[in-house]
Amino acid sequence: MADPVYKERLQKYLARAGIASRRKAELLIEAGEVVVNGRRAVLGMSVGPGDEVRVRGEVVVPAERHRTFMLYKPTGVLTTAHDKYGRKTVMELMPLIPALHPVGRLDRDSEGLLLLTTDGGLTEELTHPRYRHEKEYRVWCREGRVVPSMLARLCAGVLLEDGIARALRAYPKPGGCVVVLAEGRKRQVRRMLASVGYTVTRLLRTRFAGLQLAELAPGEYRELTRKEVRRLRYTRS
């Protein structure tokens, strides 16, 4: 009896190739931008060895082994793969690896721990709100140390233009504070502190999903071990 042919859902295949998360891969399929063996793909399709998959005309082949890196993103560098204005991006700090992309974002003016991976599935797990991976930020403010009463307000919830935002924990530090979040809206820490009367002058992400920035200097990176990647998949900080 012949061995069974292994097949997987097309959106999982695209995520494994680092093209997009599974949710975004479904949108690509629905938009008609994915072709399998010369025919337009449809949701629910599975692919296996011998199938040719193309996205926007380019052949997609998942890497045999995914790679994931931790980078100390410096200030002034964009968290994106490309910038139409020619500004410096995090990809210029990394080795040239097909499908490597940032996991989430750090604002241009912010610095610290940023993950990059070729694994679209891992990206989705780390960025989807339901997994509630913690992100810890060391913050410096123009007004100095943030008083406990204002930090309590951050934990109780403050109203921003895109809804209520809450810190999991927040405590004072010289010159500012530490804020821990389980979500990642655009410029969220800066906006939360502005809502209680503080102006952020420096923002450093020191921890994400159980990983610590530790010994890295600005612009430096290191590849995660397989053990660290496995912990990322099962850690909810």
Active site residues: 107
DSSP lists the bridge partners of residue 192 as: none
CB atoms within 10 A of CB 188: 19
Strand extents, DSSP E, the chain: 8-9, 34-36, 39-40, 46-47, 53-55, 58-59, 68-73, 101-102, 111-117, 135-141, 158-160, 163-165, 169-173, 176-181, 200-208, 211-212, 221-223
Looking at residue 89, what DSSP letter applies?
A: B
